[in-house]
Amino acid sequence: MDWSALSVSLRLAALTCLFLLPVGIWAGRALATARFRGKGLCEALIALPLVLPPTVLGFYLLQQFGRDAPLGSVWATLTGGGLNFTFSGILLASLIANLPFAIQPIQRAFEHVPANLREAAWCSGLSPWQTLWRIELPLVWPGILSAAALTFAHTLGEFGVILMVGGAIDGETRTLAIAIYDRVQAFDEQGAARMSALLLFVSLTTLGLVYGLAGKRRWARG
């Protein structure tokens, strides 16, 4: 078992969730309730990482992250370091690649909150913030949970983008999925099999837990 790869994967997945969930709640709610010009384009852009080959996304990010590129140079002036082949770089790439996984389930959940419920809450004197905290979030909770689980599990398994941007550096950007690829190249099929089984187990447990919880909730509500 490649513990350093496991640790990189877990940190990456947890941080991606931590940063993306607030974004997902904000964007998901905005997209579910607001109507504005260019909403379709916004949704298309968010969904893009779902269909774009990871190598294409990775290629663009690799270029954008370079020290001469706009994004890379801003980062370099702020932090003094580069983005390519660093943990910060793969984290940023992972945040972009996971946008649809974090936003879409939350948006769907918000779309099922009736508009008149929100209006009723306002009429009863609740502020928009209180409405969000006390009425809406409890209702969309299963959506947030699925977003978290999908983002977490997807980050654990992400390969192409991370390999392009990260370069598979041990202890820094080599994730479990890449370590499995490396083990196969080293003709260490047992090592690859052990890590693959772990990834399968963690992914299935994460998803099973969430669908189980969401199902129970639906059942409890009748």
Partner 1 sequence: MRTLLLAFFMLFSTPALAGAQPPIIAAASDLQFALTEAAERFKAQTGAGVRLNFGSSGNFRRQIAQGAPFELYLSADEAYVFALHQEGHTLDEGTIYAIGRLAWLQRSQRGDLPDEAAPLAGVEQAIAASANGTRERIALANPEHAPYGVAAQQALSYASLWEPVAPLRVLGENVSQAAQFALADDARGGLVAYSLALAPALAQRSEYVLIPEEWHAPLRQRMVLTRQAGDVAKAFYAWLQEDEALAILKQYGFSTE
| Binding positions for partner 1, rule: CB under 8 A | 4, 7-8, 10-11, 14-15, 18, 62, 66-67, 82, 84-87, 167-172, 182, 184-188
- CB of residue 8 to partner 1, shortest distance in Å: 6
- CB of residue 137 to partner 1, shortest distance in Å: 14
By C-beta, is 32 or 176 nearer to partner 1? 176
By C-beta, is 119 or 189 nearer to partner 1? 189
Residue whose pair of structure tokens reads 């790439």 in the numeric block: 93
By C-beta, is 119 or 170 nearer to partner 1? 170
- CB of residue 189 to partner 1, shortest distance in Å: 9
- CB of residue 111 to partner 1, shortest distance in Å: 27
By C-beta, is 43 or 172 nearer to partner 1? 172
By C-beta, is 65 or 113 nearer to partner 1? 65
Q: Are 74 and 180 within 8 A, CB to CB?
A: no
**What angle (nearest 5°) sits at the alpha carbon of residue 150, between those of residues 148 and 152?**
65
- CB of residue 129 to partner 1, shortest distance in Å: 21
